[in-house]
């Protein structure tokens, strides 16, 4: 009887994994197929853009279109200006939204639905309507404001509002904010100390994600800068593309590659820091 029971157990134990493997095999194949199609759709346009931008008929690989497009231009200054706009817009969005969301979560949670709906408005209002309304307003209040390139910063803050808002809101919801804030106050911390020493360290991932999304959107934004007649790097690429499409394709590929490397390096640095901190704490104990 014992032998029969052991045999039955062995049969059941073998049947289980076989059944599981037979069930998981189609799922694994489906995952591989989906990932392969996604990678193909993502990388194929990049490869085609690079092949078109860095080759000439009968010559093969060459940098001549890119050299001709950059010769005698101020592309470096425009790229630097776009980088400054991205940094300023990101900092402005974080300074504005982090305290606002903390106040809403702690003091007015019933308003969160309204503010979440309000954050989607930039997706509804076209860029030309936003620029037209702001132009009429600032023409009466501050006529020289829109002349400066840095006048794009508030427009970019509005444009990136939906992405930054949701990233920060998700980071706040992931932690027990009322408990952390009450504990910090019970220990005698002031509000700014609770913000900088308790809340911000727990929102590091959300802050990084919001910053990356904001910078990536600003680095590729064309409509607002063009409507306000400011010269940024995306505007320069569009102007180059009107007469030199191969150079525009090469610049687009290099811009996408540089942006991707920047985001990957920042994400990797954040991940290493997050792994290093628990080890340091464990060692100190």
- Give this prediction's pTM: 0.76
pLDDT, tens digit, for every residue of 57-95? 877 788 888 888 888 778 888 889 999 999 999 999 999
Q: pLDDT digits over 34-55, tens only?
A: 999 988 888 888 888 888 888 8
**How many whole angstroms separate alpha carbon 156 and alpha carbon 134?**
13
Q: Which residues contact 168 (CB under 8 A, 6 or more apart)?
A: 94, 97, 98, 101, 203, 206, 207, 210
Tell me the pLDDT tens digit for each residue of 217-259: 888 888 888 888 888 888 888 888 888 888 888 888 888 888 7
Contacts of 66 (CB under 8 A, 6+ apart): 53, 54, 247, 250, 251
Tell me the two tokens of residue 28: 């694994």
Per the structure block, which two tokens stand in for 181?
């804030």
Domain ranges of the chain: 75-269
**Nearest CA among 218, 245, 248, 227 for reference residue 236:** 248
pLDDT at 278: 45
Q: In the structure encoding, which two tokens stand for residue 179, read together?
A: 């408990």
Q: How confident is the model at residue 98 (pLDDT cuts 50, 70, 90)?
A: very high
Tell me, what's the pLDDT at 20? Answer: 52
Cα separation of 171 and 181, whole Å?
Answer: 15
For 109-150, the pLDDT digits (tens) are 899 899 988 888 888 888 888 888 888 888 788 878 888 889
Single out the residue of 88, 100, 49 nearest to residue 250, CA to CA. 49
> Which superfamily, per CATH, for 75-269?
MetI-like (1.10.3720.10)
- 254 and 246 Cβ atoms separated by less than 8 Å: no
């Amino acid at each position: 009887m014992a032998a029969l029971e052991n045999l039955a157990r062995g049969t059941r134990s073998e049947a289980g994994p076989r059944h599981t493997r037979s069930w998981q095999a189609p799922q694994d194949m489906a995952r591989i197929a989906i990932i392969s199609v996604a990678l193909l759709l993502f990388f194929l346009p990049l490869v085609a853009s690079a092949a078109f931008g860095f080759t000439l008929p009968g010559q093969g690989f060459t940098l001549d279109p890119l050299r001709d497009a950059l010769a005698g231009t101020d592309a470096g200054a425009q790229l630097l200006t776009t980088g400054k706009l991205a940094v300023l817009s990101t900092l402005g969005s974080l300074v504005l939204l982090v305290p606002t969301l903390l106040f809403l979560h702690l003091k007015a949670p019933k308003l969160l639905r309204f503010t979440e709906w309000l954050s989607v408005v930039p997706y509804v209002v076209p860029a030309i309507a936003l620029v037209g309304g702001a132009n009429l307003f600032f023409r009466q209040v501050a006529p020289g404001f829109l002349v400066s390139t840095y006048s794009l910063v508030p427009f970019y803050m509005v444009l990136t509002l939906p992405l930054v808002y949701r990233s920060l809101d998700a980071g706040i919801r992931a932690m027990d904010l009322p408990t952390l804030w009450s504990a910090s106050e019970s220990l005698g911390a002031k509000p700014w100390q609770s913000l900088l020493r308790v809340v911000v360290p727990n929102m590091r991932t959300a802050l990084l994600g919001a910053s990356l999304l904001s910078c990536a959107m600003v680095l590729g934004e064309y409509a607002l800068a063009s409507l306000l007649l400011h010269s940024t790097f995306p505007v320069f690429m569009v102007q180059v593309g009107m007469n030199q499409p191969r150079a525009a394709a090469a610049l687009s590929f290099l811009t996408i590659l540089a942006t991707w490397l920047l985001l990957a390096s920042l994400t990797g640095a954040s991940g290493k820091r997050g792994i290093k901190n628990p080890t340091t704490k464990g060692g100190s104990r």
